[in-house]
Amino acid sequence: MALTEEQIAALTEKAWEIRRKIIKTIVWAGGGHVGGALSQVDILVILYYHYMNIDPQNPKWENRDRLILSKGHGGVGYAPILADKGYFHEELLQKFNHTHSDFAMHLDHLKVPGVDASTGSLGHGLPIAVGLALGAKLKGKKWRTFCILGDGECNEGSVWEAAMAAKHYNLSNLTAFVDRNQLCIDGSVENIMALEPFKEKWMSFGWNTLEIDGHDFQQLGKAIENAHETTEKPTMIIANTVKGKGVDYMEGEVPWHYGGLDPEKEEMALKSIDQLYGKT
């Protein structure tokens, strides 16, 4: 079912709030993986605020949907969503990546409520997600597993081993996304290790494969609905995104894979986000 205008408006408002909170968290932390945190926002927002079956007051609820943020360096953009959902107090973000804080740059599932797996060693998230989805299938459980990968990590062999296993076990309860922002820490993904023809690769591995605009909630919603309706195979949603989305001076710029913000840059970033959402 297509999202209504009211639902899209609510998700858009939430995306604006989360992008602003990411900038604030980057400032409190003294730096962070801001580019990829901003590109993944809309994927996480539509999952956490519309599709996922979760209970923030009971983070270990057995029948909850699971999410694995395989691109674990995006934790600085994940934690603000978990805080906003009520897994923990938002004021804790002010100590993000500080000494003795529970919030490291890569979130630890033993310390941060709502995090289903510790990630950061790239290429590990999809194998974990495959294990979770297979476990649910073997136990006859109805909960779903979602996984978000970076495009840069798709040069890891473990990703493709997991892709084979997911189709072998017909894990239709697994939906994966690639945050296809085209850039990684060393430059253009295609220059570092070319992925194209990317969609065809996933199709050849037996996945139901869709390619969309990862910042368009209507397209995201249709793709997720398609995944839920698909039987006998997992779904890969290649979400074309912009690294640094929302902050004009960061968008598409490799140096903003990781960075810090002085007061002037913080003000510029927040102003740019507000302009994107028509708040000024």
Region 188-215: mean pLDDT is: 98
Going from N- to C-terminal start, the domains of the chain cover 5-276
In terms of residues, how long is the chain? 280
> Fold for domain 5-276?
Rossmann fold (3.40.50)
Question: To the nearest whole number, what is the mean pLDDT of the chain?
Answer: 98
Report the pLDDT value the prediction gives residue 280, as an integer from 0 to 100.
85
- pLDDT tens string 141-172: 999 999 999 999 999 999 999 999 999 999 99
Are 122 and 68 within 8 A, CB to CB?
A: no
Report the pLDDT value the prediction gives residue 38, as an integer from 0 to 100.
98
CA distance 253 to 184: 10
Q: Which residue has the tokens 């970076």?
A: 150
In 10 A of CB 121, how many CB atoms? Answer: 13
Q: What are the φ and ψ backbone dihedral angles of 173, each rounded to 5 degrees? A: -90, 10
- pLDDT tens string 118-145: 999 999 999 999 999 999 999 999 999 9
238: left (phi over 0), alpha (psi -120 to 50) or beta: beta
pTM comes to: 0.98
3-state secondary structure 129-152: HHHHHHHHHHHCCCCCEEEEEECH
- pLDDT tens string 62-104: 999 999 999 999 999 999 999 999 999 999 999 999 999 999 9
pLDDT at residue 202 is higher than 80 = yes
pLDDT at residue 195 is higher than 80 = yes
pLDDT at residue 250 is higher than 80 = yes
**Given pLDDT bands bounded at 50, 70 and 90, which one contains residue 192?**
very high
